[in-house]
Structure 1
Amino acid sequence: MRKAPILLIGGSGTVGRRTAQSLREANPDQPLLIGGRDLARAETVAAELGHAEAVAIDLAAADLGVGERPLAAIALFFADDTLTALRYALSRGVPYMSISSGIHEVGPELATQMYQPKAAPVVFGAEWLVGATTIPILHAAKDLARVDSINIAGLIDEQDFGGPATLRDIERLMYTKPAVLTVQGGAYVWLGQGEGAGQFHAIDGTPVEAESYSPYDLLTLSVETGADNIRFLLAAGETSSRRRGDPLSTEIIYEITGDGQNGSRQSFRQAVFHPRGQMPLTALGTAMVLERLAGLSGGEPVSAGLYFPSQLIDHDAYMTRFAAIGGEILPLPASAPAA
């Protein structure tokens, strides 16, 4: 029986293309549909991948221009203000994920899914770099009896914004946000424009000025760990690798404070590092979610409902594949973030 393909809407863009490559490397026989508004560009990507087909996407059409063909899963790599792709997935019962919407934008997607709660699994994929922050932190904190605080700082290289769609998403989420969510004293607190700015130290110790940011990681980590204080700072600038003359990279620094199993006070600081920037990590997380949704990674089928990436990805498997593509977890001197 022929496998149903995974549809990547925006699959010829920077992130979509990398995700398609990651899927192909791990799943040589899985058919892919590379969807885009520029059919010629999508055809080029499909030809490079093999076992893939290009399709012209029309967000003004209820069927997206795809028709009634069976699909294993759908991924959307840019903001779709019309929610056509989500409605199409729910109407067909096809698992769906998007990686663009922020916490403050989730209402329309949430309402659309709530009216068809049993139609299909829907993944809000915009954890920072699609699990590259949340999963390593949860992996590092799993041996603690209690987590009190988590301070996170993401540093994206100013030369690493990817394609036009990615740049538009980052600009929208970073610079048009109405408020920023933090966890303070066990309460969810929204900070207004300009509030919560701070400073952290990059991997090489350089001080970096940053803005408060609230990806879905804030919610996932709050529920998973019960930490009373969680903060996420984000900055765009020169990464530590580029300062020393190497190519750009991506850095996610986190400091966790809590109690060990023996009751002793513990605090440690580490960094998620990838020497080729953000795209390999975003592609890895997205590919692993799609593999889970499409039944390629084993386990029980994902039931209809709402999910974050870190709920669907096996954490040990993620850390193994993270290392295999060149990612590193670097121990850092204690005491860092935040002014």
Structure 2
Amino acid sequence: MQTKTVILAGGAGVVGCQVAAILRRRQPDLRLVLAGRRLDAVQAAAAPLEAEAIRLNIDAPDLSGASRGAIIVGLANDLNDRLLTAALDAGSPYLDVTRWTSAQKQALTTVSAQGRPAAPVVFASSWMASTIGLIARDAARELASVERIDIGVLFGLADRAGPNSVAYMDRISTPFLTMEDGVWRERRGFRDGQVRDFGEGGPHRLYRFDTPDQANLPALTGARTVEARIAFDGQIETRLVHVLVASGVWKALSGPRFEKLRRSMLYNPGEGAAHRVRIELEGRDAQGETIRQTVQVVDPEGQTHLTALGAVVQIERLLGRLGPALEPGVHLGEAMPDPALATALLKSEGVCISG
């Protein structure tokens, strides 16, 4: 069998190290390459895994030395599409798990401008590397038609996290679109609070936020309404952010000048905390009867672990080892033909999915 190569751009980060460790355990025959700006950091991360290490600047990537057909995985923000463009130019399979909705739209424009890709290009940037969308799609298979999908996220402030993990918070006052009753409507982040029960995590008031799930799932499931809300497990922090956004203070603090202040409020990672997501689905069965179901998702190892597992799901898809091999072209992470394969992998790696 020909050795496959996977290059993890951002491989020394909090998520990248976990992706590398899981891949090495699950796919020991891979040629695994960790890449990053600081060669000493990627060498330290690669050594215990017997992986290779290379210096790679995402803003000026050089893939000339990469093996033909190597899978390029973006685990750090590629804000100017430089890594994406380099992968397209090289004809390499590409995976990105870092993009918020507008950045995903920007990337789709970049791909379209270059014509049909010579290899698969996968955008799996929905919540936790598209794991939640895949779980929702798996649950929705019991419905003949889907009317509504409601995603509630409980974010552990003490969880392990890299600095990019709260980048979306810089955009919470920026308007975004969601599908409601089949119509796209403009929303604002951290408004329209609703209480959701997370089982052992307790009840929390959640507020709207922008995530690609709300753009992708209506098309993939036919749902007429898809909404996502979030809260921090610290209710004081959740309330504070809501007040700052609703009062306009958060918008006034936007921009590079106040970036350190904004991040200090929400980026104080700890040793780890469980990541909890609640998915509600409503639809009709084959007889036309209304069906409602709730799925509780808990990763005891936290949100970075769940993100890493989502990346592994997509890498194994690109390797042709989790379902049929992907054809050249653009693919969404949630669009996996058989989402049950993804949920089975997640469960085997310790993620609790109940309901």
Same fold flag (TM > 0.5): yes
1:92 and 2:90 matched: yes
The answer for the alignment partner of 2:264 in structure 1 is none
TM superposition shift of 1:206: 3.1
1:111: which partner in 2?
109
Are the equivalent residues in 1 in contact too, given 2:188–2:209 (CA < 8 A)? no
* Aligned 8 A contact 1:248 1:277 in 2: yes
Distance 2:291 2:125 in 1: 30
Residues 200 and 110 of structure 1, relative CA distance in 2, 3 Å threshold? same
Contact 2:100 2:168 in 1 (8 A): no
Identity level (%): 27
Given the superposition, is the C-alpha separation of residues 68 and 131 from structure 1 closer, same or farther in structure 2, using an over 3 Å criterion?
Answer: closer
Partner of 1:49: 49
- Aligned match of 2:352: 328
Q: Judge conservation of contact 2:148–2:224 (CA < 8 Å) in 1.
A: yes
Instruction: Report which stretch shifted further, 81-90 or 107-116.
Output: 107-116
Provide Cα deviations, 1:173-210, integer angstroms capped at 9, x if missing partner: 5x3x5213221111121213554343322223733232
Distance of aligned partners of 1:157 and 1:313 in 2 relative to their CA distance in 1, 3 Å threshold = farther
Q: How far, CA to CA, are the matches of 1:45 and 1:140 in structure 2?
A: 37
Q: Deviations over 1:197-229 (max 9, x none)?
A: 433222237332322123222233211222222
How do 1:35-184 residues align onto structure 2 when only pairs under 5 Å count? 35-50=35-50, 52-61=51-60, 63=62, 67-119=65-117, 120-167=119-166, 169-173=167-171, 175=172, 178-184=174-180
What is the CA–CA distance in structure 2 between the aligned matches of 1:194 and 1:285, rounded to whole Å?
A: 26
Greater helix share, 1 or 2? 2
**TM-score, structure 2 length as denominator?**
0.82
Counterpart amino acid of residue 152 in structure 2? A
2:187 — aligned with what? Answer: 191
> SS at the partner of 2:186?
strand
Q: Which residue of 1 aligns with 2:228?
A: 232
In the alignment, residue 15 of structure 2 is paired with which amino acid? V
Q: Tell me which amino acid in the other structure corresponds to 1:63.
A: D
Letter in 2 for 1:47: A
Distance 2:201 2:3 in 1: 49
Residues 152, 278 of structure 2: 8 Å contact kept: yes
Q: Which letter does structure 2 place at the counterpart of 1:274? A: D
Distance apart, 1:12 and its partner CA: 0.6
Distance 1:181 1:199, change over 3 A: farther
Count of equivalent residues? 318
Listed one character per residue, the Cα deviations across residues 102-148 of structure 1 (whole Å, up to 9, x for unaligned) are 11223431221012232232222211111221111111121211221
Aligned in 2, Cα 1:78/1:172: closer, same or farther, shift over 3 Å? Answer: farther
- Asked if structure 2 preserves the Cα contact closer than 8 Å seen for 1:78 and 1:166, the reply is no
Change (3 A) 1:38 1:195: same
Letter in 1 for 2:77: A
In the aligned structure 2, how far is the partner of 1:172 from the partner of 1:75? 24
Do the aligned residues in 1 keep the contact of 2:140 with 2:146 (CA within 8 Å)?
yes
> Which segment drifts farther, 188-197 or 72-81?
188-197
> How many angstroms apart in 2 are the aligned matches of 1:102 and 1:209?
23
Could you tell me how far 1:48 is from its partner in structure 2? Answer: 1.2
Alignment partner of 2:309 out of 269, 276, 284: 284
The answer for the alignment partner of 1:21 in structure 2 is: 21
Alignment counterpart, residue 274 of structure 1, candidates 299, 304, 307:
299
Q: Distance in 2 between matches of 1:108 and 1:221?
A: 18
CA change 1:2–1:194 in 2 (3 A) is closer
Deviations 1:17-63 (A, max 9, x none): 1111121121001011100111111011111112x100001235352
Distance 1:232 1:42 in 2: 35
Rounded to whole Å, the distance in 2 between the matches of 1:285 and 1:96 is 15
List runs of 5+ in structure 1 lacking aligned partners: 240-246, 332-339
Structure 2 Cα separation of the partners of residues 104 and 178 of structure 1 = 11
**SS in structure 2 opposite 1:231?**
strand
Q: Which of 95-104 and 204-213 deviates more?
A: 204-213
Structure-2 separation of matches of 1:181 and 1:55: 39
- The CA distance in 2 between the partners of 1:183 and 1:259, in whole Å, is 19
Equivalents in 1 of 2:68, 2:331: separation in Å? 22
